[in-house]
């Protein structure tokens, strides 16, 4: 016992030191007023509306649920929203408040630069302290097909990093400016693409420069094939693919005001601008895999070109891309469409014309187009926190929200709590292989419209529920890891865990709906599962457990309602000294998690 206590104390000390270091290392975020959080068209919610649920909704929408502790969420809810949001959303590689080490973590990942490449190298390595099981390390090697998605899926759930950063990284590389491993983009190109975009965002570059960095990348050149475009003797040996999509997908310009001009001048000349930019290897083993573009004046249309009604100059394609970006970001169509693309892709599947107009107003009001500023203003706005906002979760979002809210520590994820292969091989969704190629990954509405996705999730929760209901996590020959719900679940004043409080806490933790959808039927089933490990029918009607029940059966406060209430007052022995008793309590928590995640509420989020 003494040894155990000593180890525990040592671990707590180490963790505390790291947390202190992380907090010191955390970016100086500045004064929110000076940062100018609010934007015209996006007024902030009142301090009263900015409550625990509001904070959780921001975390679900922008950070895959985040890994913040309940106390931190309460702190943010007590702050003015403009101050809290600066702490929640940043592009730093580490955000110790949003992603603190878990109780049993040492958060070694914090010591890394936080780029996808550094994480890939680390988790693939045999370096001391790498907790990735040796049998899985190959999945993270940069030259492995799986490296970008293996690394990213871990980064987005790993305590000590920054899930908001990974959320936006995914949006930019898989949705807004999507490229695709299955289309020939190499792992070297993909990882560098991701890291370069996030480096530009972290540096606070204007959004048009972020887009230009993406547009000038080797990944995009490979995806669209203009790595082989050349201009010689007045003839363009080129295709128009990216010449069209840089305007349409990256900036939202369709040329609707003058389609003929757009087709025959802007696109034709952009194709000529995208010449003389072959891919070269540098660190990759051969040119084909290379992550760098060699911008040449030879083979490039070096003379000025008219694009978007402006003369675009530049000795190389890179210079022209950056010049185009400066013009495109101020184009009327881009001003109209880009903010809608961003918010539609991240947070709202119900963008009405009125909401679109407000987003446009906010976007136009920023002289220096900052994605971070826009997202911060939006995340605390009345628009985000309004009841007519609906965001359906795509499969990846649902998977990661579950990972972050049902997972409790990094060691659980090193033991592959979520069994990542299910996402890929059961639901058929693969990060960095977007379902619609350059038009992006599976959308939330697509997932919600698919009975197939619903069925797979439902059957997962009912046939493979042991992932969450097993009190121990086994992996290869490692010592089993006991799940530690007792360190997170709320206690009553006497220190005991009471079923009704734990049920509400789990519902809010996983769904962040402020218990809006937590009705009598949900409550009865969760109380029964937590109190007895059985469904409510088995407890209420032991001989006829399949007897149908509707909310009306609970309306009069009689038998079923009374039973549900009494079940809710029972205790859960989550920290019992008796192993069997403790394991049984944790098993029931896992059953409750499975139940919650199989309800429709796990597939979407409403604004309020």
Partner 1 sequence: MHRSRKITTDMGRRRFLRGALASALCVGCGPGNWAQAKWAQAAAGSFPALPGRVLVNLFLAGGPDFRHLLPPAYSPKPGSYGRVFWRHRARAFGIGDTEAALQRHWNTHFTPASSGATRFGIMKSCGWLASQWRQGNVAIVCNTFGSDSRDHHHGILVMDLGDIHAGKLDQGSGWGGRLAYATDANAVALTNTPRPFAFGPDPAAPGDPRRNSQDRLIVAADTRNIALHTVHGGADWRSPDEYVTRALQSYYRGMAGQVDERSPYFRLFEHERKLREFGEAIDARLADIPVPPELQEITHWEGPVRADFGIQARNLYDALVCADLLNMRVASMSFEGWDSHDKQAESIEPMYADLFGHNGALARLYRALPDPVKRQMLFVIAGEFGRQLKDNGGNGTDHGFGNVVLLIGPSVRGGVYGDMFPESELARMDDPSPDIDGRTALDHVFGAASDWVGPGSGGFVFPDRASAPLEPGVEPRRFFG
- 467-496: contacts with partner 1 (CB under 8 A): 469
Calculate ∠ Cα 26-510-588, nearest 5°: 125
Using the rule CB under 8 A, which residue among 118, 450, 487, 571 binds partner 1?
Answer: 450
SS3 content of the chain, % helix, strand, coil (to 5): 55, 5, 40
The answer to whether 421 contacts partner 1 (rule: CB under 8 A) is: no
Smallest distance from the beta carbon of 89 to partner 1, in angstroms?
A: 25
The answer to whether 106 contacts partner 1 (rule: CB under 8 A) is: no
Binders of partner 1: how many residues, by CB under 8 A? 85
The answer to whether 309 contacts partner 1 (rule: CB under 8 A) is: no
Site for partner 1 in 10-69 (CB under 8 A): none
Site for partner 1 in 233-252 (CB under 8 A): 235-241, 244, 248
- What are the E-state strand segments in 487-532? 497-498
- Cβ proximity to partner 1: between 27 and 225 the closer is 225
DSSP 43: P
Stretch that binds partner 1, among 55-63, 162-170, 228-236, 417-425 (CB under 8 A): 228-236
The answer to whether 431 contacts partner 1 (rule: CB under 8 A) is: no
Least Cα distance to 518 among 534, 539, 545, 500 occurs for 500
536's CB contacts (< 8 A; 6+ apart) are 524, 525, 527, 528, 549, 560, 563, 564
594's CB contacts (< 8 A; 6+ apart) are 461, 462, 465, 468, 469
Smallest distance from the beta carbon of 163 to partner 1, in angstroms?
A: 24
Residues 2, 308: Cα–Cα separation, whole Å: 73
The answer to whether 392 contacts partner 1 (rule: CB under 8 A) is: yes
- Cβ proximity to partner 1: between 16 and 264 the closer is 264
Smallest distance from the beta carbon of 126 to partner 1, in angstroms?
A: 33
Stretch that binds partner 1, among 90-98, 142-150, 254-262, 396-404 (CB under 8 A): 254-262
**Phi, psi of 258, rounded to the nearest 5 degrees:** -150, 80
The answer to whether 267 contacts partner 1 (rule: CB under 8 A) is: yes
Calculate ∠ Cα 311-176-168, nearest 5°: 120
- Cβ proximity to partner 1: between 315 and 598 the closer is 598
The answer to whether 575 contacts partner 1 (rule: CB under 8 A) is: no
- What are the E-state strand segments in 272-373? 279-280, 292-293, 305-307, 310-312
Using the rule CB under 8 A, which residue among 145, 288, 454, 475 binds partner 1?
Answer: 454
Site for partner 1 in 507-536 (CB under 8 A): 517, 521-522, 525, 528-529, 533-536
- Grouping H, G, I as helix, E, B as strand and the rest as coil, residue 606 is strand
Per-residue contact string for residues 581-600; x = within reach of partner 1 by CB under 8 A: ------x--xx--xx--xxx
The sign one gets for the Cα dihedral 367, 370, 374, 376 is: negative
Q: Are 359 and 337 in contact (CB under 8 A)?
A: no
Stretch that binds partner 1, among 211-219, 299-307, 447-455, 482-490 (CB under 8 A): 447-455
């Amino acid at each position: 016992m003494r040894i155990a206590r000593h180890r525990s104390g040592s671990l707590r000390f180490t963790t505390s030191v790291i947390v202190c270091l992380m907090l010191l290392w955390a970016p100086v975020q500045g004064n929110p007023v000076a940062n100018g959080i609010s934007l015209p068209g996006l007024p902030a919610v009142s301090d009263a509306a900015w409550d625990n649920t509001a904070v959780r909704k921001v975390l679900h929408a922008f950070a895959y649920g985040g890994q913040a502790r309940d106390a931190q969420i309460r702190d943010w809810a007590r702050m003015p929203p403009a101050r809290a949001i600066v702490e929640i959303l940043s592009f730093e590689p580490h955000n110790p408040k949003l992603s603190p080490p878990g109780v049993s973590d040492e958060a070694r990942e914090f010591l890394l630069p936080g780029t996808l490449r550094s994480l890939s190298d680390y988790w693939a390595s045999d370096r001391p302290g790498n907790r990735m099981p040796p049998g899985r390390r190959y999945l993270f090697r940069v030259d492995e097909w799986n490296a970008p998605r293996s690394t990213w899926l871990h980064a987005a759930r790993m305590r000590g990093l920054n899930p908001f950063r990974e959320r936006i990284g995914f949006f930019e590389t898989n949705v807004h400016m999507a490229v695709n491993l299955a289309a020939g983009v190499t792992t070297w190109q993909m990882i560098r693409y991701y890291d370069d975009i996030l480096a530009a965002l972290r540096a606070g570059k204007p959004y048009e420069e972020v887009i230009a960095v993406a547009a000038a990348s080797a990944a995009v050149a490979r995806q669209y094939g203009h790595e082989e475009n050349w201009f010689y003797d007045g003839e363009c040996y080129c295709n128009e693919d990216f010449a069209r999509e840089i305007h349409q997908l990256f900036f939202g310009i369709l040329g609707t005001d003058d389609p003929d001009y757009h087709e025959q001048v802007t696109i034709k000349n952009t194709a000529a601008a995208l010449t003389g930019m072959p891919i070269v290897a540098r660190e990759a083993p051969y040119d084909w895999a290379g992550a760098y573009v060699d911008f040449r004046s030879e083979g490039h249309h070096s003379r000025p070109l008219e694009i978007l009604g402006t003369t675009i100059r530049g000795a190389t394609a890179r210079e022209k891309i950056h010049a185009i970006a400066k013009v495109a970001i101020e184009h009327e169509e881009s001003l109209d469409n880009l903010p809608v693309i961003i918010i539609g892709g991240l947070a709202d599947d119900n963008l009405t014309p009125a909401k679109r107009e407000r987003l446009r107003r906010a976007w136009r009001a920023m002289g220096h187009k900052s994605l971070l500023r826009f997202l911060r203003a939006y995340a605390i706005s009345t628009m985000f926190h309004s009841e007519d906002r609906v965001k359906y979760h795509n499969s990846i979002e649902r998977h990661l929200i579950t990972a972050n809210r049902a997972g409790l520590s990094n060691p659980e994820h090193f033991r592959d709590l979520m069994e990542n292969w299910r996402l890929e091989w059961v639901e058929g969704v693969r990060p960095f292989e977007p379902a619609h190629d350059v038009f992006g990954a599976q959308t939330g509405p697509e997932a919600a419209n698919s009975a197939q996705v619903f069925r797979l999730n439902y059957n997962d929760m009912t046939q493979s529920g042991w992932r969450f209901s097993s009190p121990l996590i086994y992996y290869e020959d490692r010592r089993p890891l006991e799940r530690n719900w007792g360190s997170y679940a709320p206690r009553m004043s006497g220190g005991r865990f009471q079923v009704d409080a734990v049920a509400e806490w789990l519902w809010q933790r996983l769904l962040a709906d402020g218990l809006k959808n937590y009705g009598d039927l949900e409550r009865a089933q969760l109380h029964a599962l937590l109190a007895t490990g059985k469904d409510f029918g088995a407890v209420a009607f032991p001989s006829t457990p399949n007897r149908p029940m509707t909310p009306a059966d609970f309306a009069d406060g009689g038998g079923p309602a009374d039973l549900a209430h009494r079940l809710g007052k029972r205790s859960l022995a989550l920290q019992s000294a008796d192993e069997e008793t403790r394991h049984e309590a944790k098993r029931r928590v896992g059953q409750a998690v499975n139940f919650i995640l199989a309800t429709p509420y796990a597939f979407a989020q409403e604004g309020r």
